[in-house]
Amino acid sequence: MSEELDRFLANARGTAASAKVMSLDELRARRGADPSERFGLAALRGRLVELSARGATATLTTAIDLVIEAQTQHEPVAWLALANGTFYPPDVAECGVDLAALVVVRTNDVVAAARSAERLLRSGAFGLIMIDLGSGNGAELTMQIQGRLVTLAQTHDAAVVCLTEKAEDTASLGSLVSLRAEALRSRSDARTAEFAVNVRVLKDKRRGPGFTQTLKRRGPAGLT
């Protein structure tokens, strides 16, 4: 198992050299700005983050951008999802993610997902942990779980991002969430498959809410 992990990490840390993954400059061009400003990997390191929306959501699209950014920076990434999650590998690969450099873990409930995230963070090997908490399941993280995730994220300079489905006026996962953003999509042109992704920061303990980023995207049908 140790040898398999070593091989995976070696591949993940070299993945930016792969033709499958776009360059950081290409990613920034697609996003229309330096992604480290307010909602990129650099801004999210050491923090517990919630990315949420309800309705015309673009949480998965936005999350995939973060995964690609981490891979361009040679950072191993893990994606944890509940059994009913919407993670679909072909769509993710089409968007530019190197699946060979991505750990995907499916769990039965929120507690199991959080415990798996803790174990991965303790290894010190991952720069980004995505936790897809699904929709309509009343997902909650206890203060003890939040505290451990924050401590581990700070210790290992990693970003922990939880995906949830909820309206902006619904309470966040907990008081230890350092940043919460809403990601929604709107059709840019009815004649094409293009759509706009609007990422709006609702809560930011470091710099305050109010930041908004809008970018145009053309994505697979299943990635919204």
- pLDDT, mean over the chain: 81
What are the domain boundaries of the chain?
Answer: 2-218
- In angstroms, the CA 39 to CA 161 distance is 11
Instruction: Between 200 and 83, name the one with better pLDDT.
Output: 200
Q: Is 29 a residue whose pLDDT tops 60?
A: no
Summarised one tens digit per residue, pLDDT across range 201-214 is 999 999 888 888 87
- In angstroms, the CA 134 to CA 165 distance is 7
Number of other CB atoms surrounding residue 31 within 10 Å? 22
Please answer whether residues 179 and 201 qualify as being in contact, where contact means their C-beta atoms are separated by less than 8 angstroms. Answer: yes
| Fold type of domain 2-218 | Rossmann fold (3.40.50)
Taking the chain, what is the end-to-end CA distance rounded to the nearest angstrom? 35
At 98 the pLDDT is: 92
Q: Is 111 a residue whose pLDDT tops 70?
A: yes
| Section 183-211 average pLDDT | 80
For residue 24, list its beta bridge partners: none
For residue 204, list its beta bridge partners: 179
